[in-house]
Structure 1
């Protein structure tokens, strides 16, 4: 979706906003559980306005490293 094309329906009607999906401001972004870092993180949100498909990306490199250590890898 970051390239402007929806992977679900192929539409070019993809829109982007940082923290665009509503999460109350008081929590400071999306909460992602790890062993040591449970603070809010900013997200980059993409929505296809034709089919409604959504993708969300964390933009916090330190949080991503913590997740790699704390979460199980998919497909294993």
Structure 2
């Protein structure tokens, strides 16, 4: 959905992009890569407004690298 702008389940073009957000106490749509919210990687959701199908993506290449680094530990 991120790249095609089309839902793979119902072929709708009605797609909403919901930005990841880091809230207090580690809340929000994030992946923690350290001990503080400042190390959080924000996860963007893509939602089909017709059928409800959703996908989650890490949009920033640097954030992907942070996760890979964390997984090596």
Normalising by the smaller structure, the TM-score range is: 0.5 to 0.7
Instruction: Give runs of aligned pairs for residues 42-53 of structure 1, distance below 5 A.
Output: 42-53=42-53
**TM-score calculated relative to the size of structure 2:** 0.62
Distance across 1 between alignment mates of 2:66 and 2:22: 24
Deviation beyond 2 Å, 4+ runs, structure 1 = 59-63, 65-71
Distance 1:13-1:41 versus aligned 2 partners, 3 A rule: same
Give CA deviations for 1:16-64 in whole Å, capped at 9, x if unaligned: 1212xxx6611265125xxxx3331122221001111111111342342
Distance 1:67-1:42 versus aligned 2 partners, 3 A rule: closer
**TM-score calculated relative to the size of structure 1:** 0.61
Distance 1:68-1:24 versus aligned 2 partners, 3 A rule: closer
Structure with bigger helix share is 2
Work out whether residues 11 and 50 of structure 1, in 8 Å CA contact, stay in contact via their aligned partners in 2: yes
Query: Which runs of no fewer than 5 residues in structure 2 stay unpaired?
Result: none
Q: State the number of aligned residues.
A: 64
Is residue 2:5 matched to residue 1:7? no
